[in-house]
Chain A
Amino acid sequence: MKIEKTVVIIKHDGVARGLMGQIIKRFERAGLKLVALEFLQSSTDMGAAHYVANEKWLKTVGNRTLEDYKTKGLDPMVQLGTDDPIRIGTIIREWLIEYMAYGPVLAMVWEGPGAVSIVRKLIGDTRPAMALPGTIRGDFGLDSPDLANSQKRPMYNLIHASGEILEAEQEMELWFDKSEIIDYKTYSNHYTGVEKKMTKDKKPS
């Protein structure tokens, strides 16, 4: 497995609810390594650059809402005035952009073997109400698309994490200067597959 880096942003609901430590702890205990961290106030410009408006992503976001409405028997035309996934995705993107600048957020880069997918597994389903217990969103949230949409706001799901390696690279460039990403070894490197094996004469450094 390749060593990857992935961007994790604890959004303002996680900050205001005092869950930063809980969230960091879960990545640490899984064996991931924190390589960059900054507590910052973002802007809507940053939000717009972060949530890139490509068709595939808008469609995914829109379809997620449509799927949720279907299981709950809600009519998207009544709720949002459209049943086009891309238009729904565009509406939600605007809310997300606005929310990213609502209050300070904690931006981080985590590193480890297969970090991108490991982080997504630990975080759980985008919709906290559907996320499994044991995942961050499943343990600390209960929001869902229908509730969020009816209040004309994005889902409060605590965290943003990169979806794939390419996205992680783009997001790292957006949120951090190269010099802010730190290379070092944790004491558990040897047991988390980052290094081959621990020998008696070689103390972890």
Chain B
Amino acid sequence: MEKFPSIEKTFVMIKPDGVKRGLIGEIFSRFERIGLKLVAARMIIATEEQARNNYPGTDEWLINLGEKTHSNYNNDLAAIEADMGITDKLKIGHKIHDSLVKYLTDGPIIISVWEGNHAVQVVRKLAGKTDPTLADVGSIRGDFGFDTPQFAVKSGRIVFRTLVHISDSPSEAEREIKHWFGEKYEYLGEYDRIDYTGMFEMW
């Protein structure tokens, strides 16, 4: 695949809600039918450390999470205080980070690596917007979710369920593959998706 520089690898995690709802096959088939090739996959239970370090965890990142919460509430501090018990952006960031860890360790997850033409962008398109209520119909989150930040806070989960975690960029994909697979990563992409071989033919 060296002769096609646009062939990328991207990391996809099916989160515990996707596994427990029985949507693994549905999600896999969406990636397969568009022509992406599976090159690594396993089912694991994330350790707390693995889940925590999946995110940058810097003050800047935490404060940014707090800021997003403030803007979701249109800066209505009383409402934030009522729902979360705190208003400080850094503290909110920590609370969200803790909830993300709880979410990812709530059950088994499927970690996988998919390869294909502009794989990062294609998978982002198929997954849809992070907020399921805003995700397009036809995307994974648009078709299988209705969670929102506010609903998540009201139900005590803080973070909303998004079914999948996907890489933002090729460099982030590389970091995430290393982070989640570690020593056990083995590239198994030396095969052809026979129904898509025409895509690679020279005329």
Binding site for B on A (CB under 8 A): 12, 15-29, 34-41, 103-104, 106, 180, 182, 184-188
Contact = CB atoms under 8 A, between A and B. Distances in A.
B42 A38 contact: yes
Contacts of A104: 38, 188, 191
Interface in B155-203: 186, 188, 190-196
A21 B27 contact: yes
B23 interface: yes
B38 A39 contact: yes
B21 to A, nearest CB: 6
A196 to B, nearest CB: 19
A21 B22 contact: no
Interface residues of B, number: 37
Given A28-B22, A28-B24, A37-B41, A16 B107 contact: no
Interface of B: 19-33, 35, 38-45, 107-108, 110, 112, 186, 188, 190-196
A21 B31 contact: yes
A18 B195 contact: yes
A27 B195 CA distance: 24
B166 to A, nearest CB: 16
Contacts of B196: 18
A182 B191 contact: no
Nearest to B35: A18
B20 A186 contact: yes
B41 A24 contact: no
5 contacts: A15-B38, A18-B195, A20-B29, A21-B30, A24-B24
A27 B192 contact: no
Contact of B41 (A35, A39, A103): A39
Contacts of B30: 21
A39 B186 CA distance: 10
Contact of A36 (B27, B32, B35, B43): B43
Contacts of B195: 17-18
